[in-house]
Amino acid sequence: MIVDPLTLAAFIPAGLALNLTPGADMMFVLAQGLRGGPRAGMAANFGIAAGCVVHVAIAALGLAALLKAHPAAFEAIRWGGVGYLLWLAWNNLRAGPVRPGTAAAMPLPRIFRDALVVNLLNPKVALFILAFLPQFVDPAGPVLAQFVVLGLVFNLGGLLVNGAVALTAAGLGARLARSDGLSRGLGRVSGAILAALALRLAVMERG
């Protein structure tokens, strides 16, 4: 096998534990599920997963190490992410009452794109993958192939966890949306979550 079964047995629970830790990706999926319903939440989930695939490829090819070595590049990506999240937050705040699942909901390809961009503009994801995955890679084996397998397994865990978050948030959002006052509040909540993510990204240490 490309990855030793014992190594994989240790990696899976470790990866799931990290996937279960609330972070920017989970909060973004939560916001979309609350505002747009299950399809919107799952579109965000798949967009985040697509971004993680790119980050795994970047780490496997060694590009994340270059990002870590060049603070200016890190800062440019980070502040791009802050700006994008604030723009999304503003759009949510001015969009009006939320009716999850209605025809007026944001197009799913746009939600997927937003999730993908949010994930790609968080340089911490690339650095985290670069720090986490090599702990389970055997340097005597095919390093690139091991990175790919471990990255896909980690990503699958993220899909499952964030998918559950999306569906749970969608159910809550659908109940709240039955009230006009609460439906307007949902837009504010999702906007506030995105603004909080922007603040988190702005103040985080490079590490």
Confidence at residue 102, expressed as pLDDT on a 0 to 100 scale? 47
CA–CA dist 199, 79 (Å, integer): 10
The answer to the question of residue 17 being in a domain is no
pTM score of the predicted model: 0.73
pLDDT averaged over every residue in the chain: 78
Q: What is the dihedral of CA 128, 68, 62, 127, to 10 degrees?
A: 10
State the residue range of the domain holding 50: 23-203
The answer to the question of residue 60 being in a domain is yes
Q: Is the pLDDT of residue 118 over 90?
A: no
Confidence at residue 105, expressed as pLDDT on a 0 to 100 scale? 58
Phi, psi values for residue 58, rounded to 5°: -60, -45
Residue closest to 130 by CA, chosen among 43, 176, 182, 69 = 69
- Split at pLDDT 50, 70, 90, the class of 24 is confident
The answer to the question of residue 133 being in a domain is yes
The answer to the question of residue 91 being in a domain is yes
92-96, 139-143, 178-182, 193-197 — most confident range? 139-143
Count structural domains, the chain.
Answer: 1
More confident residue, 114 or 94: 114
The answer to the question of residue 15 being in a domain is no
Residue closest to 133 by CA, chosen among 6, 14, 23, 24 = 14
Confidence at residue 104, expressed as pLDDT on a 0 to 100 scale? 42
The answer to the question of residue 32 being in a domain is yes
